[in-house]
A and B are shown apart, each in its own frame.
Chain A
Amino acid sequence: MKLEDFELGGTQLKASDFKTGKVLTTEWKPDLKYAWDNGVAIGRYLAEFKEGRIIARVCHKCDRIMLPPRMFCELCFRPTDEWMYVKDTGVINTFSIAKVNWDASRRGPKEPPLLPAVIEIDGASEGMGIMHMLGEADPKDFKIGMKVKAVWKKPEDRTGAITDILYFKPVAAGTEDKNKGRPEGRGKEVR
């Protein structure tokens, strides 16, 4: 047999055939629902968000203060040892200026861009922090290494979600000192 003999054939289509519904498809809209158990680490993390606080977990073996917190150290592969509050300030590790929404639809001409950012939080180990949004400044004014601080929702509006923080804003000159630097050592254990 020739290779052509294996072709199953079909009908050549024009763009107008699609528009006029001559090409038949089967559609289905799934109705799937999930509810992920937060568990110990993320359960506590989110409960603290509701109180306007950020909490981390410490591994004594590798001396990392991990944020987001986790009940096991993925490197030492052992349970982590203690809770520790960290600050709600940090520095921008990286950021982007998004002109499209999460479903890739384009933002309207009057909508400001979204500013996703990774913030290294003061008190957590280097390179660890929160993936969140930036706000309250012109996109072109944000820089890597810039000091930022969380802007929280009003207490009565918080639900125990990462959106209890609205965004991180640049720390105004003069207010920087009291949030500066990482705490020395491990700080106080929190139960």
Chain B
Amino acid sequence: MVKRVAVVGIGTTGFRPVTPDVSFRELIFEAARKAYTDAGIEPSEIDGFITTAEDFMEGYSIADEYCPDQIGAVLKPTQTIPGDFIQGMATGYMMIMTGAFRTIAIEAHSKASNMRNIGELMGFAQDPVYNRPLRETPHAVAGLEMTRYLFESAASSEQCAQVVVKNKKNAMRNPYAAFGAEITEGDVLASEPISLPLHRLDIAPHADGAVVAVLADEDTARALCETPIWIEGLGWSTDTPTLEMRDWGEAAYARLAAEMAYRMAGIGNPAALIDFAEICDEYSYKELQHMEALKLCMPGEAAYMIESGATSYQGELPINISGGALGVGHLFEASGAHKILELVEQLRGNAGARQIPDVNVGLAQVWRGVPTATGAVAILSNM
């Protein structure tokens, strides 16, 4: 019986605002080739493949059919999960746990720069009957949520701006990140108002890039590599899509996904056990809201942690050391992939200038963006 599943290889192109030099196939090939070389395995030896993509973002109907070549999956078992990379990883984990697959490759990418009217595309995700006729910007959904979160938590716009300052600064140490910068709280608050209290710099700008990871069962993982990065916990959850009914203050989807992952990992006190976390900061306030949902702090406490520097590079619980979405770029369904990449590099001790010393357990959490209420959590360890 399969006992554990590990990440045994990972590869990426890094992330850039635009990638006009390569097609999406060429982008994905680079990440896949690097992942298989990292794992010391050829795609012909991999038992199954999972890609994560949404047709509307790709501009193809049945985009899953256009995946096999660039991941080495021609004439192999392959499927697409229309969700985030971490949801794809959960599927890969379950496939290996059945015992029918020893190795699974998982792919995610963003070619956001190819979506030429991204506002309309994001707006298209709203309910066509209840919400779309109002013709509100998709960012308004985040603006609504930020207002309610600030009201319930007593966090401030200034504290949200500090999240932007921290993450963009972290990104300067990350060679993969597209949007590293030294900015101030004042720069964020003075940036173009979008859907207040949201300002332009509160919103993660989109980026292109690809990530591929290889998962393996315990025996295969130990044969392939010295430091398998073990998947200790996985969870995912979705709140109602109905904007008129959902909980606007608390990220319930994230809390439930985390509780599922903590149960699986046997973690009773996440704040004490998790060494560092990569969590969704697609909008600045989301980092604070998600910290509370993930029980990395008490409700209402996240704002104090950003204020005190507890979540900074040298703090007691570094959050988004990679730069997060605000610093790396928003990657749509590849958002979770970049977070898993950061966990693997940190847990292997390969994170270079941004390496956090002595880390054993990392948490990655992702949200699928407005107007969704879906989140997924993965907990990885090097022990």
Contact = CB atoms under 8 A, between A and B. Distances in A.
State whether these chains interact.
yes
Interface of A: 26, 28, 30-42, 70-72, 74-75, 77-79
Contacts of B111: 36-37
A33 B72 contact: no
B33 A78 contact: yes
Contacts, number: 80
B153 interface: no
A72 B124 contact: no
Interface-central residue, A30, A31, A36, A77, by most chain B CB under 10 Å: A77
> Which bracket fits the contact residues of B?
35 or more
Interface stretch (B113-121, B188-196, B321-329): B113-121
Contacts of B19: 37
Contact of A35 (B22, B114, B121, B132): B114
Interface string B31-50: 01100100000111000000
B111 to A, nearest CB: 7
A40 B72 contact: no
Interface of B: 19-27, 29, 32-33, 36, 42-44, 56, 59, 68-70, 72, 74, 111, 113-117, 120-121, 124, 128-129, 132-133
A26 B21 CA distance: 41
Interface of B is mostly: helix
A75 B44 CA distance: 8
A35 to B, nearest CB: 5
A79 B42 CA distance: 14
A30 B125 CA distance: 11
Contacts of A79: 33
A71 B29 contact: yes
A74 B114 contact: no
Contacts of B29: 71-72
A26 B127 CA distance: 11
A39 B114 contact: no
Nearest to A43: B23
A72 B70 contact: yes
B26 A71 contact: yes
A75 B19 CA distance: 25
A70 B66 CA distance: 14
8 contacts: A32-B120, A34-B59, A37-B21, A37-B23, A37-B24, A71-B26, A71-B29, A77-B33
